[in-house]
């Protein structure tokens, strides 16, 4: 199958196995963390604060992570981040399983997780072009999307079983183990020697990355859209567990809905393996317009099975959008500044998320859960559709003249 030919490349195969493992754990911990916090506090607002405790440090260190990833070996950065996340999640699991967890401890450990992820993500985007051939970049990104999707299905399903039969702490423990697997697989990559750029100040590095980012209208427009979309989608993530517990059937219903997003992502990932749109961002933004559907479903009091059906469509749209955007960045942005541009992308895309996470609970308490879900869903839909009016987004061609690093086979990155 041509869409899977990228797996013949050994480095990518190892990378893919490690990332698939850690993403499976991520799928488990989203369900586990939600019900761990609700068990302790019975408060959706507390869940929002814990999620924000991870998001804020992640966003705060993202730009620093981009500079570091363009200066130092990206694999080394990613291994260090995975080890930190393993230690943090293992500690949280021990606290939950022993029954001694407190909200401030969960928030602090999630902050550690956020810092590690903020350094990992820009390095990851920059690493992929060095472990696959250029013509297979979209395949590689589509398969990464598929691994997210499979983790989003298997992870919440496994977490739902563990939460119902044991405790949320055991799902968090499984998540910790997956970061150890990822670190081991990353350590086994064999890469060209890292050639550091000329020495210059951190601020100049940051400024050069900003120039690359801001000079491309399609980049900063899409990042702005993603930022508002993530902020508004937080209403679904924060209020969804409470709605599920009160009126849809409890943890099993929420696990089903989250799993449905993963199922849709699998479909979207398979589609992204084969689609070759002439204007990738036009296709991606149309796909993103499917994202608010499950939020609107929750807001209209439909049954859990109907929300799950809408979540499938959301998953399709998110995976297609993310795959096409990441491939566009890797094709059109030079390697020497790719991690910094990616950092601005991650920073901007996630900047609104902690605001949404922290605000969703208090707003729902003041205005009502269902009105907030409706407002968030409609706003997401309008933002996605308005984006198509921007010519730079609508007309961006596939491919590009991306500069590539010169392979050095005599030495390997340490």
**pLDDT for res 414:** 32
Q: In degrees rounded to 5, what are phi and psi of residue 403?
A: -70, 140
**pLDDT for res 400:** 53
Q: Average pLDDT, stretch 364-387?
A: 89
pLDDT grade for 193, boundaries at 50, 70 and 90 = low
- Closest Cα to residue 225, out of 345, 384, 59? 384
Return the higher-pLDDT residue of 195 and 136.
Answer: 136
For the cut 60, the answer to whether the pLDDT of residue 366 exceeds it is yes
Give the pLDDT confidence of 352-361 residue by residue, as tens digits. 877 887 788 8
**Region class of 20: left (phi > 0), else alpha (psi between -120 and 50), else beta:** alpha
Give the pLDDT confidence of 235-275 residue by residue, as tens digits. 888 888 878 877 877 777 887 888 788 788 888 888 888 88
Burial 316-337 (b: 16+ CB within 10 A, else e): bbbbbbbbbbbbbbbbbbebeb
Assess contact for 232 and 355: CB atoms under 8 A: no
* CA atoms 141, 222, 66, 107: torsion sign: negative
**pLDDT for res 195:** 64
Give the pLDDT confidence of 313-322 residue by residue, as tens digits. 999 999 899 8
As a whole number, the mean pLDDT across the chain is: 83
**pLDDT for res 403:** 44
Assess contact for 146 and 315: CB atoms under 8 A: no
For the cut 90, the answer to whether the pLDDT of residue 167 exceeds it is no
For the cut 50, the answer to whether the pLDDT of residue 1 exceeds it is no
145-159, 312-326, 364-378, 393-407: least confident range = 393-407
Return the higher-pLDDT residue of 207 and 310.
Answer: 310
18-32, 80-94, 111-125, 146-160: least confident range = 146-160
**pLDDT for res 407:** 34
pLDDT grade for 149, boundaries at 50, 70 and 90 = confident
**pLDDT for res 253:** 83
**In 3-state terms, what secondary structure has residue 82?**
helix
What pairs with residue 412 in β-bridges? 192
For the cut 70, the answer to whether the pLDDT of residue 2 exceeds it is no
Assess contact for 171 and 159: CB atoms under 8 A: yes
**pLDDT for res 294:** 92
pLDDT grade for 196, boundaries at 50, 70 and 90 = low
Percentage of the chain modeled with pLDDT above 70: 93
Give the pLDDT confidence of 271-287 residue by residue, as tens digits. 888 888 888 899 999 99
**pLDDT for res 208:** 85
For the cut 50, the answer to whether the pLDDT of residue 410 exceeds it is no
Q: Average pLDDT, stretch 167-175?
A: 84
Q: Average pLDDT, stretch 106-123?
A: 90
- May I ask the CATH architecture of the domain 2-188+202-394? Up-down Bundle (1.20)
**pLDDT for res 83:** 95
For the cut 80, the answer to whether the pLDDT of residue 62 exceeds it is yes
CA 152 to chain centre: 11
Give the pLDDT confidence of 10-61 residue by residue, as tens digits. 888 899 899 888 888 887 877 788 878 877 877 767 777 787 788 788 888 8
**pLDDT for res 55:** 79
Return the higher-pLDDT residue of 32 and 87.
Answer: 87
Domain boundaries, the chain: 2-188+202-394
Assess contact for 53 and 111: CB atoms under 8 A: yes
Q: Largest Cα–Cα distance of the chain, in whole Å?
A: 64
The Cα 341–Cα 125 span in angstroms is 10
Burial 257-284 (b: 16+ CB within 10 A, else e): bbbbbbbbbbbbbbbbbeeeeeebbbbb
pLDDT grade for 338, boundaries at 50, 70 and 90 = confident
* CA atoms 122, 128, 134, 140: torsion sign: negative
Q: Average pLDDT, stretch 316-330?
A: 88
**pLDDT for res 73:** 84
Assess contact for 139 and 3: CB atoms under 8 A: yes
For the cut 90, the answer to whether the pLDDT of residue 299 exceeds it is no
The Cα 298–Cα 296 span in angstroms is 5
């Amino acid at each position: 199958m041509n869409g899977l030919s990228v797996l013949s490349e050994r480095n990518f195969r190892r990378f893919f196995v490690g990332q698939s493992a850690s993403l499976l754990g991520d799928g488990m911990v989203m369900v586990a963390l939600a019900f761990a916090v609700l068990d302790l506090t019975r408060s959706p607002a507390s869940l929002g604060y814990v999620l924000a405790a991870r998001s804020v440090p992640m966003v705060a260190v993202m730009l620093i992570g981009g500079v570091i990833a363009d200066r130092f070996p990206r694999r080394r950065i990613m291994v260090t981040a995975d080890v930190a996340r393993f230690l943090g999640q293992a500690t949280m699991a021990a606290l939950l399983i022993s029954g001694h967890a407190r909200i401030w401890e969960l928030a602090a450990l999630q902050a550690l997780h956020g810092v590690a992820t903020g350094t990992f993500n820009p390095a990851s985007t920059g690493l992929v072009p060095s472990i696959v051939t250029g013509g297979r970049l979209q395949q590689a990104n589509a398969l990464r999307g598929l691994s997210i999707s499979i983790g989003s299905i298997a992870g919440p399903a496994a977490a739902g079983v563990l939460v119902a039969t044991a405790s949320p702490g055991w799902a968090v423990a499984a998540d910790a183990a997956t970061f150890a697997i990822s670190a081991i697989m990353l350590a086994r990559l064999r890469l060209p020697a890292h050639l550091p750029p000329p020495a210059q100040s951190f601020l100049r590095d940051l400024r050069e990355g900003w120039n690359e980012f801001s000079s491309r209208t399609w980049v900063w427009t899409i990042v702005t859209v993603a930022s508002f979309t993530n902020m508004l989608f937080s209403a679904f993530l924060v209020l969804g567990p409470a709605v599920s517990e009160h009126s849809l059937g409890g943890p099993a219903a929420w696990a089903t809905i989250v799993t449905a997003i993963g199922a849709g992502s699998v479909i979207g990932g398979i589609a992204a393996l084969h689609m070759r749109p002439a204007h990738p961002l036009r296709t991606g933004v149309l796909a993103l317009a499917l994202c608010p559907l499950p939020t609107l479903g929750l807001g209209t009091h439909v049954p859990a099975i109907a929300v799950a059906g809408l979540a499938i469509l959301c998953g399709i749209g998110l995976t297609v959008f993310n795959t096409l955007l990441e491939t566009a960045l890797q094709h059109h942005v030079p390697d020497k500044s790719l991690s910094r541009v990616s950092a601005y992308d991650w920073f901007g895309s996630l900047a609104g998320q902690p605001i949404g996470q922290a605000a969703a609970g208090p707003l729902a308490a003041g205005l009502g859960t269902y009105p907030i879900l409706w407002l968030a869903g409609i706003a997401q839909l309008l933002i996605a559709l308005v984006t198509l009016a921007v010519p730079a987004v609508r007309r961006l061609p596939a491919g590009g003249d991306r500069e590539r690093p010169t392979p050095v086979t005599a030495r390997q990155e340490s």
